[in-house]
Structure 1
Amino acid sequence: MTEHPTPTILVLAGKRDGKLDPLAEKAGVSHKAVVPIMGKPLIGHVLATLEKSWDDAKILVSIHDPSVLDGVEEVQRLKASGRLETIPAEAGIVESVEAGAARGGFPLLITTGDNVLTTVEALRAVNDAGWDREADAVLGLARREDIIAAHPEGQKKFYEFKDIAIANCNIYWLRDQKSLQAAEAFRGGGQFIKTPGAIRKAFGLRNLIRFRFRMDSLAGAMRRMSKRFGVRVIAHVLPDGRLAIDVDNQRTYDVTEELLKRDAAASA
């Protein structure tokens, strides 16, 4: 099996639009990334997985106030080993990704501070897909049926195409500087399911119409996206439906906590 270059890993852990997240407010903390779940901050679970994914991967955490991470065990350990660095979160997702790329270089693997259920296998699979399929950018996705099988309350809305319904797994990969053009799709925040107008802004009216009427397969949609941004963008569908469940609100917090408890019971 070919061993591909180790990516720099960027963890987006800032405040969306600079606002206090409802889960953070409920927990009495300033950033959602440090909301506790199963005795550990959300980002602690994420970093524990990232630490095991590659022995030598540099990890960058993009966050508005790095001091909130001072008490996170995984942050302390990774900083002490020279593997983790915090960088200031920028005004938006794209700007934060650009700042991460400028600091850490490429290839760049991107995830989020609330992606608690991510796995070593998924992170490595997305990195491998980028190289094996000669992509410029990779989107990690999961099928609706796999997500529902993982937990029926895990996701409520899906991107529907002619051949498949999917949700994103908050795992993205960029090959090089040119690949940053694909990140432009997220300049408006990337909440396409919640705000359909963002699809038109990011992809254009024609592609919005095709999406609304399910006129494209997933592969066809990726070809259109590639054409729009001038880089080869591919979808990599991961088999584990849990990967599409991040801690986005109270419902998904409760789902994630339930799944973590199942894991703990199974390993006891």
Structure 2
Amino acid sequence: MTGPLSADRPITAIVLAGSRGPADPVAAAAGVSHKALAPVAGVPMLARVLASLAAVPRIGRVIVLIERPELVLEHPAFAPFLARGSLTVLPAAASPSRSVLAALDAVPAPFPCLVTTADHPLLTPAMVEHFWTNLPPGVDAAVGLARSETIHAAYPGTRRTYLRFRDGAYSGCNLFALRTAAARSVVSFWRRVEQDRKTPWRMIRTLGPGTLLSYALGRLRLDTALAAFSRRTGAALAAVDLPFADAAVDVDRPSDLLLADAILAGRRDGAPIGPQNQAAAS
């Protein structure tokens, strides 16, 4: 475990930009090889993520994982980030967890580390700052979550994947903190369950039949689940409640591209998105 957050230790940010293969509906709809390169409001999603990370002073270096690094190294949208000298582009591994482990092995002193994804074009510096500054002291790793009430208040009727606990339903926000070397065990555990990330009960069942039954009956609390995962991985884990509905909106389907376009247009105009665009989230 660690002590209080150190203000003088820059964060390593890891951005997962790997392909989901030729069947990826977002890449196909956008006519690109990788979803990360699909434009949202005219800008590749990955470039939007990098711009948000570049605006967070506590982030010192950024590592992008993509199967063909030349797609980033030779793309004009990424030239400003490469010119700063703090961006490294590495080949993605066979899965997100393996890519994270490869990135941790590729650079000296990688911790503390922030992990996010390229299909998060609505990410803002405020989201990153809130997540990091609200990490509980002493944790080795943490995940950012948004409550269903937060999401539905902004986008009524939206359909997301929720982890449903006794104390509330939460959606993942593609923000993960790996504060210490002990967090490597969390990534290794992730490698065993990542194929079930869209099926929460399958992940919960790795904690044993009793925990799975408690979850199925709606009796399992989030803090109890985190304590069980901590015992399983040997690392202190926590969750950070993010008060940003947009933090839970990633781009998995072509309709998500439309929604993200509408949200960004609303940010520019200072107005919420209209009902016709909210329907794209359902």
Q: Report the TM-score when normalising by structure 1.
A: 0.90
Deviation, structure 1 residue 53: 1.0
Of 247, 251, 254, 2:255 maps to 251
> Which residue matches 2:51?
48
Task: Name the CA distance, whole Å, in 2 between partners of 1:202 and 1:76.
Answer: 43
More displaced 10-residue stretch of structure 1: 179-188 or 59-68: 179-188
Work out the percentage of aligned pairs sharing the same amino acid. 31
SS of 1:90's partner is: coil
Tell me if the contact between 1:162 and 1:218 (Cα under 8 Å) persists in the aligned partners: yes
Task: Name the CA distance, whole Å, in 1 between partners of 2:205 and 2:225.
Answer: 16
Of 76, 80, 96, 1:77 maps to 80
Q: Which amino acid aligns with 1:140?
A: G
Q: How does 1:110-189 map to 2 (within 5 A)?
A: 110-130=115-135, 132-188=136-192
Q: List runs of 5+ in structure 2 lacking aligned partners.
A: 272-282
Tell me if the contact between 1:247 and 1:253 (Cα under 8 Å) persists in the aligned partners: yes
- 1:99 paired with 2:102, answer yes
1:189–1:153 Cα change, 3 Å: farther
Of 28, 34, 37, 2:40 maps to 37
1:121–1:202 Cα change, 3 Å: farther
Task: Name the CA distance, whole Å, in 1 between partners of 2:65 and 2:193.
Answer: 15
Task: Name the CA distance, whole Å, in 1 between partners of 2:231 and 2:92.
Answer: 29
- 1:228 paired with 2:193, answer no
Please give the per-residue CA displacement for 1:202-225, whole angstroms capped at 9, x wherever unaligned.
444433322222222111111111
1:25–1:185 Cα change, 3 Å: same
Task: Name the CA distance, whole Å, in 1 between partners of 2:76 and 2:218.
Answer: 44
Task: Name the CA distance, whole Å, in 1 between partners of 2:83 and 2:137.
Answer: 36
Task: Name the CA distance, whole Å, in 2 between partners of 1:60 and 1:185.
Answer: 22
Task: Name the CA distance, whole Å, in 2 between partners of 1:239 and 1:223.
Answer: 23
> Which residue matches 1:194?
198
Task: Name the CA distance, whole Å, in 2 between partners of 1:181 and 1:147.
Answer: 31
Of 5, 10, 14, 1:6 maps to 10
Aligned positions, number? 264
Task: Name the CA distance, whole Å, in 2 between partners of 1:238 and 1:178.
Answer: 24
> Which residue matches 1:109?
114
More displaced 10-residue stretch of structure 1: 239-248 or 150-159: 150-159
Of 62, 71, 87, 1:68 maps to 71
Q: Which amino acid aligns with 2:34?
A: H
1:196–1:147 Cα change, 3 Å: closer
1:58–1:262 Cα change, 3 Å: same
> Which residue matches 1:238?
242
Q: Which amino acid aligns with 2:174?
A: N
Deviation, structure 1 residue 248: 1.1
Task: Name the CA distance, whole Å, in 1 between partners of 2:57 and 2:174.
Answer: 18
Deviation, structure 1 residue 28: 1.5
SS of 1:58's partner is: strand
Q: Which amino acid aligns with 1:106?
A: F
- 1:88 paired with 2:91, answer yes
Deviation, structure 1 residue 129: 3.3
Task: Name the CA distance, whole Å, in 1 between partners of 2:123 and 2:195.
Answer: 20
Tell me if the contact between 1:136 and 1:175 (Cα under 8 Å) persists in the aligned partners: yes
